[in-house]
Structure 1
Amino acid sequence: MNVRAGGGEEWVRRFHPACERPHRLVCLPHAGGASSFFFPFSAALAPRVDVLAIQYPGRQDRRHERLRTTIGELAEETYRALRPWADRPLALFGHSMGAVIAFEVARMLERDGTPPLGLIVSGRRPPDAQRTERVHLLGDEGLLNEIRKLSGTDPGVLADEEVLRMVVPAIRADYRAVETYRYRPHGAGPALGCPLSVLTGEGDPRVTVEQARTWKAFSSGPFSFRSFPGDHFYLTPQRDRVVRAILEDLAGFATALTA
């Protein structure tokens, strides 16, 4: 792991530094997820891409820190942690909860005059889709049943009572953040001007292919869409194809930047 002094050490993880690359890819994990989820992607992309993975508070080595329970807090603190890394263009990749955090961070970057190279969102309905779920209000067993349905957590973790006691509060806080999030437009027109790419699993129980396509309305920049076999966590079995898609997107983002 490598982090840069003054560069949001607690938030930003750099597993496979590629210092000579002209831009960086920032990966933001799902609800209950950690930066380590992206370790295999970082390894597969290195040394072609300098990957930064975000570590939210309340998990792994940050498990004793205060949990954040709103998307606004998570996005603002992620944005601040990334500012020292913005000496090169940043592309953002977010999966599920990470997608909406990445979207809000992209808006912040555009507002401060350092727009992202591009935004890749995965496994998430568009920002204005109203959520009716209240998973964060369920008891522990109900919350864990929801996690099991999405197949995003190692079954061994869910069977370990000691580990469960550590991870349930973070999962609940993340679900609260996602389920209470409300998109707030700033003026008329699309929210972003950067290139936007959408990835989704064809069998995702939380977002249909048609819903995923409606992300197009949220940027005036170039748009691309890809669907993959699999459910909400299609990324794991489809890792090779997702890595190729990311590389294609980054190349397209760079071309759009110089056009």
Structure 2
Amino acid sequence: MSAEGGERSTLLCVPFAGAGASFFHPWRAHAADRWRVVAFELPGRERRMLETPYRNVVEAAAKEVDAIAATLDDGAPVVLFGHSLGAVLAYELTHLLSARGVPVERLVVSGSPGPWTQRERRAAGLPDEEFLARVEEFAGFRHEALDHPEMRELILPVLQADCEMHENYVPSTDEPVSVPICSLRGDHDGLVTAAEAQQWQKATTGAFSYAELPGDHMYLVDLARDVLDVIEVESARGREHGGE
């Protein structure tokens, strides 16, 4: 997927709760010559492990947008992708990057209700074991690293901060974005309903599309190529309709 004039679009990937940028590194091979994949790293993990994690989505987006903008190619279109926590972070970044004149051509949100809908069942604030059980219930799996005391000691505070900022998220503005939004969902997601995933239609004045892929809330773990194929199809459709 090349931008007009031969430049590749950038696919800016925003991680979900507890994830680091490395989750998206295999996507580079799947992207081939369609996108330049850039993975955004949040504090508290991987290369930024010693930094204090954020506990507020709006603050995280505002403080990180300068560093993110510096990773983008001047003038090249940008597609933002975010799953779950990453979806609302990507939504805030879309507002900020668009205001800077960055050519955001599409926002792809995954496994997330609309930005104004807060989760009824929460994990933040629960004692450690109850918290992990609730997160495991939400995600549909338990990361094996949590069963190793040393790794758990590193991961747990970050996961708790991520859940806190996700569950307390309130959008910075009631104004929708103008870029097209594509909402994705696993067809057996027990955390986000189809109706909730389609609430994103109200978050844009541009085109809206919705698609389901096989799997539960974390369907994207095994379906990276399929996710990228959907993004490519939706982006091509938008260009055919004059950049809807």
* TM-score normalized by the length of structure 2: 0.89
Partner of 1:124: 112
- Counterpart of 1:29 (choices 5, 12, 15) is 15
For 1:133 and 1:182, how far apart are their aligned partners in 2? Answer: 16
Pairs within 5 Å for 1:28-67: 28-67=14-53
How far residue 133 of structure 1 moved from its aligned partner, in angstroms, is: 3.5
How far residue 124 of structure 1 moved from its aligned partner, in angstroms, is: 0.4
Letter in 2 for 1:61: R
Partner of 2:222: 237
For 2:216 and 2:107, how far apart are their aligned partners in 1? Answer: 21
How far residue 236 of structure 1 moved from its aligned partner, in angstroms, is: 2.0
For 1:218 and 1:238, how far apart are their aligned partners in 2? Answer: 26
Q: Does 1:146 align with 2:131?
A: no
How far residue 257 of structure 1 moved from its aligned partner, in angstroms, is: 5.8
CA pair 112-243 structure 1, distance change in 2 beyond 3 A = closer
Q: Does 1:252 align with 2:241?
A: no
For 2:7 and 2:39, how far apart are their aligned partners in 1? Answer: 16
CA pair 52-256 structure 1, distance change in 2 beyond 3 A = farther
Query: How many corresponding residue pairs?
Result: 236
For 1:134 and 1:148, how far apart are their aligned partners in 2? Answer: 12
How far residue 109 of structure 1 moved from its aligned partner, in angstroms, is: 1.9
Partner of 1:9: none
Q: 5+ residue gaps in structure 2?
A: 1-5
For 1:60 and 1:167, how far apart are their aligned partners in 2? Answer: 10
Do 1:196 and 1:221's aligned partners in 2 also have CA atoms closer than 8 Å?
Answer: yes
Letter in 2 for 1:249: E
CA RMSD of aligned residues (A): 1.9
Letter in 2 for 1:157: A
- Counterpart of 2:208 (choices 214, 223, 226) is 223
Do 1:35 and 1:53's aligned partners in 2 also have CA atoms closer than 8 Å?
Answer: yes
Calculate percent identity across the aligned residue pairs.
Answer: 32
